[in-house]
Chain A
Amino acid sequence: MTALLTARGLTYEADGRTILGPLDLEVHPGECLVLVGPNGAGKTTLLRLLTGLLRPRAGELFWRGRPYAALSRRELARCIAYVPQIRPARVPLTVEEVVLLGRYPHLSALQWAPKTADFTAVDEALAVVGVQELRRRPVDELSGGERQAVFIAAALAQEAELLVLDEPTIHLDARHQSDLAGLLLRLAGAAGRTVVLATHDLNLASLLGDRLLALAGGCILAAGRPAEILQPDLLERLFRARFEIVRPGERPVTLLRLEPTP
């Protein structure tokens, strides 16, 4: 199977300090790859490198065998859609406008208005995420969960083959976390989309991931199926915290033990 995305010897430095790598990685069509690891492990840095937002210090990135350097930002955006973790506090646009702007890589500067295909993509994205009734609302008036759904819809409207999400459930309450997990499961599972996401929620990782990548100190500590990664000793080494497997199986459910270690 040919990989959608290939990274070879990927390294990133900031202020003369190596933050990530060297690291090799492949993303295959249709898979859901989940990055897990402690704060500062380099999850966001890796995602930003994969989306082409950061330029690696060393190493190479390929999209279907084509080096990133040979692709324009626009071409890359037609391949990879990104939902970053940090978004501006104020977005003075309506839901529909935000999602329509997801069509940017398909729009030409000379075209007066978006085409029918663009509006169709917007309708579909809103329907998949289930926020059609919000379309005329200003984004600033939405709750955190609704906002997250809208930004995922905007990324879907981009019609890229790979969807990259950074901490999609962070800052959300229990109900919205559960709703969003359902949405992501639909996208990654039933719709067969290729998804790369980073999360602190190990149960979300277990639920969604075909493959988990445990990152620590900018390097891959382990990679494998959820059952291979979500083991107490490996998690303790990764996070320096104790976990309990509440429900074993192919997609284990873990619990963080909060009592202080003796």
Chain B
Amino acid sequence: MTPRPRLALAFLAVLAAAALLGAPLLGSQAVSLADVLHGDPTAAAIFWQIRLPRVLLALLAGAGLAVSGLGFQTLFRNELAEPYTLGVASGAALGAVLALRLEEATAWLGLPVVALGSFLGALSATALVVGLSLRRRDTTTSTLLLAGIAVSLSCSAIILFLQYLADSTQTFRMVRWMMGGLAVVGYREVLWVLPWVLGGAAVLFFLRWDLNLLLMGEELAASRGVDLGRLRLKVLLAASLMIGALVAVAGPIGFVGLMVPHVLRRQVGHDHLFLAPACLLGGGAFLVLCDLVARTLMAPAELPVGVLTALLGGPFFLWLLIWRSKR
């Protein structure tokens, strides 16, 4: 199958626009666009106040997760690298759970301390994983992935320990938070996430020549003039800041960063000039659709969207492993 980057990008743009416009109309109670525009107060409230911010956040979260997954995958030249396999998300989850345990409601930058906790957790996990491999003077893929898995497992163990110590209300909140969800959001969260996602995506887009060169291996990239140390730092920082900000408001939503770039590579090709914007649009549309399914499947009850993406992602990960081993 020959990749058709421009055609694929146009299709994804239409898909993302359709998802953004259509998803707020659907749900446990469908509203019509005519009612919204003609000022039916109930329809307008559902559309503008409840569903649109949620859909916008899903769009941004999906876009950010997919683009940061792409960054990690190219940097480590490994299709299995994504925020979850590298321990970044587990670090974020641990940070958030620690914050929940502290039970502080102090606001910081307009967001509760839970957000700050997960933000710091994501950055610490990245620093730890990268620091470990730099200390060993070995930044090969296997070292980074192993360090990521080690950090991931340690964080999960500490989270379990904290849950065991917590009372039932706290435990419920922790478990519920760790499922990942977009249930209670307003425009404040959307505005908070927006600069991180756009900024991170812009950094990766401006590094597209470097990332394309990395596809040929680090030795060749360095010989062409890529400063590998600085490139790694920029990509890791951009991707972890995005993940930190997203996990802070939406909780850990897994596998989007793994699935979206992988599927899009086959349609769009490997050139980051097209692939980075395609991941933004495709990841956004994908998570909006997942969230739509999550809130309509058992309406009026809602499934946490993180559970849905994990249900899709687990088998996908296995399929990827089997498919890769056949090559």
Contacts and interface: CB of A to CB of B under 8 A. Distances in A.
A97 interface: yes
A86 interface: yes
Given A88-B77, A97-B212, A109-B207, A102 B222 contact: no
B223 interface: yes
Interface stretch (B42-50, B64-72, B94-102, B224-232): B224-232
A104 B226 contact: yes
Interface stretch (A75-83, A213-221, A235-243): A75-83
Contacts of B158: none
- Among B223, B226, B227, chain A packs the most CB atoms within 10 A around the CB of B223
Interface residues of B, number: 22
B149 interface: no
Contacts, number: 68
Interface string B265-302: 10001110000000000000000000000000000000
A92 B227 contact: no
Interface string A174-196: 00000000000000000000000
Contacts of B195: none
A107 B265 CA distance: 24
Given A104-B224, A104-B225, A93 B270 contact: yes
A66 interface: no
Interface stretch (B166-174, B213-221, B254-262, B308-316): B213-221
Given A88-B77, A91-B215, A93-B216, A109 B225 contact: no
B56 to A, nearest CB: 28
Interface in B162-211: 206-207, 209-210
A102 B217 CA distance: 13
B225 A101 contact: no
A84 B210 CA distance: 18
Interface string A89-114: 00111000110011011010110000
Contacts of A81: 223
Nearest to B327: A90
A64 interface: no
A80 B225 CA distance: 10
Contact of A76 (B217, B225, B269): B225
Nearest to A104: B224
Given A84-B220, A109-B206, A92 B215 contact: yes
B213 A104 contact: yes
B196 to A, nearest CB: 21
A114 to B, nearest CB: 9
Given A93-B270, A104-B209, A110-B206, A77 B223 contact: yes
B224 A102 contact: yes
A82 B223 contact: yes
Nearest to A51: B223
A81 B271 CA distance: 23
A158 interface: yes
A90 to B, nearest CB: 9
Nearest to A164: B223
A120 B295 CA distance: 55
A110 B203 CA distance: 11
A93 B215 contact: yes
A105 B219 contact: no
A101 B77 contact: no
Interface string B9-52: 00000000000000000000000000000000000000000000
Given A72-B227, A77-B225, A105-B225, A87 B206 contact: no
A158 B206 contact: no
Contacts of A84: 219-220, 223
Contact of A73 (B77, B219, B226): B226
Contacts of B222: 53, 73
Contact of A92 (B207, B217, B223, B270): B270
Given A92-B270, A93-B215, A93-B216, A101 B224 contact: yes
Contact of A53 (B207, B209, B223, B271): B223
A86 B219 contact: yes
Given A73-B222, A78-B225, A82-B223, 13 more contacts: A74-B227, A84-B220, A86-B217, A88-B77, A92-B265, A93-B216, A98-B216, A101-B224, A102-B224, A104-B210, A104-B224, A104-B225, A109-B209
29 contacts: A51-B223, A73-B222, A73-B225, A73-B226, A74-B225, A75-B225, A77-B223, A81-B223, A82-B223, A84-B219, A84-B223, A86-B217, A88-B77, A88-B216, A88-B217, A92-B270, A93-B212, A93-B215, A93-B216, A93-B271, A98-B216, A101-B209, A104-B209, A104-B224, A104-B225, A104-B226, A109-B207, A151-B220, A158-B224
Interface of B: 77, 206-207, 209-210, 212-213, 215-217, 219-220, 222-227, 265, 269-271
**Considering the complex of A and B, which 7 residue pairs feature the smallest CB-CB distances, nearest first?**
A77-B225, A82-B223, A105-B225, A74-B225, A92-B270, A88-B217, A104-B224
